[in-house]
Amino acid sequence: MVNKELDMIVFGATSFVGQIICRYLLEEHAEPNFTWAMAARSQDKLEQLRAELGEKSVSIPVVIADSFDDATLMAMCERTEVIISTVGPYAIFGEALVKACANTGTDYCDITGESQWMKRMISRYSDQATSTGARIVHCCGFDSLPSDLGVKFLQEQAWGKFGVYCSEVKMRVKVMKGTFSGGTVASGVNAFKEAAQDPEIRAEMRDWYSLCPRGHNNSARQRAIGMEYDKDFKSWIGPFIMAAVNSRVVLRSNALLQERYGNEFRYNEGSLAGDGDKGRKLAKRMKSDGRLFGLVLAVPLLRWFALKFFLPKPGEGPSLREQQEGFYDLQFFGKTDAGDEIRVRVTGDRDPGYGSTAKMLSQAAVSLLRDVDKNEVPGGFWTPGSIFNDALYQRLSCYAGLSFEVLEGESAKEEVAQPGY
């Protein structure tokens, strides 16, 4: 195996999330004996970023590469072991880099939530990635790493406690402070545009198993949450905007793990609204807001108006203080076929769309390089839950502000009794 010049390159370093990542790698967590570079298409913007980052960044190389220039992408991939990409929407800007990584055997992590694009990438480049040893790992940000690793953590705890895995798991957002990124909004807008033009993509969006490999054996009927009362959480629940992509990633993880959780495994996500009439009204509003948001994205004139005046744009984001004041608390409930129950919680100490996502992505890429042996885990398209081991949980807990914990006894009762918002 050829040793490359660099351990990691941050592609899209001058983007909003890319800048957070670079600052994080320099100021909050400098991985020991680790070489990395900042990459973007503009030399001037890279030099400006390096100046803003201060003296610590003087020794960090800069790399010029363009999402639509295959030669620069190939040259970049030849220099590094793993690439982080923050350049979205990935359905517009991401394919050439995935292709270059697959061709050069370079590991790759991103923060996409675009299931229709991921399906295309898997179909087009899976064989090549398998051949060269490139490990491609999508969804290493808030969508969908906390959900995917949260389910894996719950299942491992269930196995240790009951000797079996849970056949049903559900995640409920207890509380979340922060805004979704402009890149996420842009990706959603592009997905609606693609679906409007392509009936196959519309069909994929109705298929919970669209990301699962051919021949998978899971036949359970999955469902979306609208508005309902959840007796396991003693709370009304409404929809969660990222449920569609998170659920597909979790189901792909189960398939890649040879249906470890069973071929009747069921998973869904929702947002806690609280008990009583107040909770019912809030859940109803969540459902209405979700429908309105979908309508806005689907209707061109409404979409244009919202993008121009209300929704965040790519490159925009919260201040450092707003990132630091953000957080989230995700509650998971699992049940075995025998009726045994288990609850776990995943929390993050920054806003989900920017601060926490940047730290998660950084640690996922470092863990892919340092903790996931290429001789044991071959090339291909993986999910966070199917490729990462206990080392990433440790990294996320120690360096990224995440926590994974089992809720037991009175603490579990207290958690389900509290309103979500």
pLDDT digits (tens, 9 = 90+) for 258-284: 999 999 999 999 999 999 999 999 999
- Please report the sign of the dihedral spanned by the C-alpha atoms of residue 237, residue 239, residue 242, residue 245: positive
420: left (phi over 0), alpha (psi -120 to 50) or beta: alpha
CB 108 within 8 A of CB 83: yes
Is residue 195 a part of any domain in this protein?
Answer: yes
Cα distance between residue 156 and residue 33, in whole Å? 32
Whether residues 105 and 216 share a domain: the answer is no
* Distances, alpha carbon 317 to alpha carbons 179, 383, 404, in Å: 8, 27, 27
Whether residues 318 and 281 share a domain: the answer is yes
Is residue 228 a part of any domain in this protein?
Answer: yes
CB 327 within 8 A of CB 359: no
Whether residues 199 and 347 share a domain: the answer is yes
Whether residues 299 and 228 share a domain: the answer is yes
Whether residues 32 and 168 share a domain: the answer is no
Number of structural domains the chain divides into? 2
Helix boundaries (H) for 31-162: 43-53, 70-78, 90-93, 95-104, 115-132, 145-162
Q: Tell me which DSSP letter residue 56 carries.
A: G
Task: Give, to the nearest 10 degrees, the angle between helix 199-206 and helix 182-197.
Answer: 120
CB 300 within 8 A of CB 189: no
Whether residues 50 and 194 share a domain: the answer is no
Name residues of the chain where pLDDT drops below 70: 1-2, 180, 409-421
Half-sphere exposure (Cβ direction) of 284: Cα atoms closer than 13 Å: 7
Whether residues 63 and 25 share a domain: the answer is yes
CB 382 within 8 A of CB 213: no
Determine the 3-state secondary structure of 268 from DSSP.
strand
Is residue 1 a part of any domain in this protein?
Answer: no
Identify the residue whose tokens are 């189960």: 254
First to last CA, the chain: 52
* Distances, alpha carbon 115 to alpha carbons 197, 299, 414, in Å: 16, 21, 36
Cα distance between residue 299 and residue 312, in whole Å? 18
Cα distance between residue 202 and residue 152, in whole Å? 29
Cα distance between residue 276 and residue 202, in whole Å? 37
Whether residues 189 and 315 share a domain: the answer is yes
Determine the 3-state secondary structure of 11 from DSSP.
strand
Cα distance between residue 135 and residue 370, in whole Å? 13
Determine the 3-state secondary structure of 265 from DSSP.
coil
Is residue 265 a part of any domain in this protein?
Answer: yes
CB 166 within 8 A of CB 158: yes
The pLDDT value recorded for residue 30 is 78
Is residue 219 a part of any domain in this protein?
Answer: yes
Whether residues 273 and 172 share a domain: the answer is yes
Is residue 33 a part of any domain in this protein?
Answer: yes
Range of the domain at 224: 145-351+399-417
Half-sphere exposure (Cβ direction) of 345: Cα atoms closer than 13 Å: 18
The pLDDT value recorded for residue 412 is 61
Is residue 168 a part of any domain in this protein?
Answer: yes
Whether residues 70 and 154 share a domain: the answer is no
Cα distance between residue 167 and residue 161, in whole Å? 15
Q: Tell me which DSSP letter residue 209 carries.
A: T
Identify the residue whose tokens are 């609850």: 343
Do strands 36-40 and 62-64 pair parallel, antiparallel, or not at all (unpaired)?
parallel
Whether residues 389 and 404 share a domain: the answer is no
Q: What is the CATH number of the domain that holds 132?
A: 3.40.50.720
Whether residues 329 and 254 share a domain: the answer is yes
Q: Is the pTM of this model over 0.85?
A: yes
Is residue 108 a part of any domain in this protein?
Answer: yes
CB 145 within 8 A of CB 110: no
